[in-house]
Amino acid sequence: MKKIFFLKILFTLSILTIFSACEDNNDENPRAEITITAESEKVNLGENLIINYTVNSPIDIKTINILIDNRNVETISSFTTSQTHTGTYNFEGKIEYLNQSPIIQIEVIDIEEERSLKSINIQVRQSSESVPIVEYDNIILETQGISDAKQFLDADLARTFTLLQGKPSASIIDLVAFYDAEKKWVMAAPDDQIIRDYFTDEQNGTQTWSVRNRTHIKETGLTNRDFFAIIDGREIRAEYAQGGIPQGTDSQESFALQVNNLQEGYVFAFQTAQEKEGLIYISKIEGETAGRITISIKMVE
C-alpha cells in the first residue's frame, strides 16, 4: 500500500511539472517589461486612437507583434536598440468592433523564443452626433440576356455600367446584378466566384480588371418601412454590424460576397472596399435572364 501511495504522489508531481513547463509568459508575468498607454480607452466608430508602447527586454528582441483579439495586424523587426523599443499603433474604430471591446496586445518574442505579452481593452462606440447619408431611388440594373446590359453598380454614386464600361471603372464597381438558373436573382461583389466564372470575355472579362472589389454583404431583417424610415448613418452602420450571413451562401466569414434568390421587398446591408456601409432595397424585379431589377440605396456619406 505504501508503494502504491508513493507512486500516486510521484505521478501527480509529474503532471504538475509538465503543466508548469508548458505555461507561457502572459500579461501577469512577462519576461520583457512592456508598458501600453492611450489617450482614452474609448473611441468612436470611424475615428482613430493612438496607442503608445515601450519594451525593455533583458536579452535581444527578435520580433514585436501587434495583435487585435489574438490576430496579428503588424510585425516590427527594427527596434530602438537591440533590447528596447518605443513605438505607436494607430487603432481604427472599425465597424467590426462596434459595441465591442477589442483587446490590443503587444507581443514580444526574444532571441530565445521567450514570449511576453501586454494588453489593453478599447471600447468602440457610436458617435453621439448624427452621420449624414445619401439616398438614391429607382436605380435599374439589367441582366446578361440584354444586349450591353448595365449590370455593374457604383453604389456610392448610383452609377451603372456595362461590362465594357466596367473595366476602366473597376476600382469603383461595388456590386453586379446577375441571373443564375439555380440561385435566381443575384447581387454579388465583382470578386465573387459566380461573377468571375461568367464574365470571362478575353478583352474585358473580370479576369482582365485591375481590381475586383470584395464588397461585403450581410442579411438584415428590415422591412421596406424600416428601410425608408432610416435617416442617420449610425443606423446603417448598426444594421451592417449586427447583420448575418445571407442564406444560400457557404461563406466561412462573418459576411458573404453575394446575396441570391432576391425577392421584391428584400433589404440587405453591404460594406464597400472603401469601408463605407450601405443598404439596398429591392423594389421591383422583372424577367429573368433578360431581366431588370430596380433598387433603392442608402449609404453613409
Residue 24: per-residue pLDDT: 40
- pLDDT over 60 (residue 271): yes
Residue 250: per-residue pLDDT: 79
- The 10s digit of each residue's pLDDT in 131-142 is 999 999 999 999
- pLDDT over 60 (residue 13): no
What is the rounded distance in angstroms from the CA atom of residue 70 to the CA atom of residue 73? 9
In a domain, 58, yes or no: yes
Residue 14: per-residue pLDDT: 46
Asked if residue 149 and residue 120 are part of one domain, the reply reads no
Asked if residue 94 and residue 176 are part of one domain, the reply reads no
Asked if residue 237 and residue 285 are part of one domain, the reply reads yes
Could you say which of 70, 94, 125 is where a domain stops? 125
- pLDDT over 80 (residue 3): no
Asked if residue 183 and residue 70 are part of one domain, the reply reads no
What distance lies between CA 127 and its chain's CA centroid? 20
Asked if residue 239 and residue 162 are part of one domain, the reply reads yes
Residue 22: per-residue pLDDT: 38
The mean pLDDT value for 273-290 works out to: 96
Residue 2: per-residue pLDDT: 45
Confidence of residue 237 (pLDDT cuts 50, 70, 90): very high
Residue 195 corresponds to which cell in the numbers above? Answer: 461573377
- pLDDT over 60 (residue 125): yes
Residue 128: per-residue pLDDT: 87
In a domain, 7, yes or no: no
SS3 105: strand
Residue 59: per-residue pLDDT: 95
What is the rounded distance in angstroms from the CA atom of residue 107 to the CA atom of residue 53? 11
- The 10s digit of each residue's pLDDT in 16-63 is 443 333 334 445 567 899 999 998 999 998 899 999 999 999 999 999
Residue 169: per-residue pLDDT: 97
In a domain, 12, yes or no: no
Q: Return the exposure string of 250-261: e unless at least 16 CB atoms fall within 10 Å of the residue's CB, then b.
A: eeeeebbbbbbe
In a domain, 3, yes or no: no
Please list the helix, strand and coil fractions of the chain in percent, rounded to the nearest 5, in that order. Answer: 20, 40, 40
Domain residue limits at 30: 25-125
Residue 27: per-residue pLDDT: 52
CA-angle at 216, arms to 214 and 220, nearest 5°: 160
Residue 197 corresponds to which cell in the numbers above? Answer: 466564372
What is the rounded distance in angstroms from the CA atom of residue 205 to the CA atom of residue 207? 5
- The 10s digit of each residue's pLDDT in 243-266 is 999 988 878 888 999 999 999 999
Asked if residue 139 and residue 117 are part of one domain, the reply reads no
- pLDDT over 50 (residue 273): yes
Could you say which of 125, 154, 186 is where a domain stops? 125
- The 10s digit of each residue's pLDDT in 88-108 is 999 999 888 988 889 999 999
Q: Which residues lie below 8 Å from residue 136, measured CB to CB, with a gap of 6+?
A: 158, 296, 297
Asked if residue 145 and residue 98 are part of one domain, the reply reads no
pTM: 0.72
Asked if residue 284 and residue 145 are part of one domain, the reply reads yes
* Average pLDDT for the chain: 90
Q: Return the exposure string of 132-161: e unless at least 16 CB atoms fall within 10 Å of the residue's CB, then b.
A: ebbebeebebbbbeeeebbbbbbbbebbbb
Q: Cβ distance 185 to 266 under 8 Å?
A: no
Asked if residue 254 and residue 158 are part of one domain, the reply reads yes
Asked if residue 31 and residue 79 are part of one domain, the reply reads yes
Q: Which residue has the cell 476602366?
A: 168
Task: Please name the amino acid found at residue 148.
Answer: D
Our count of domains for the chain comes to 2
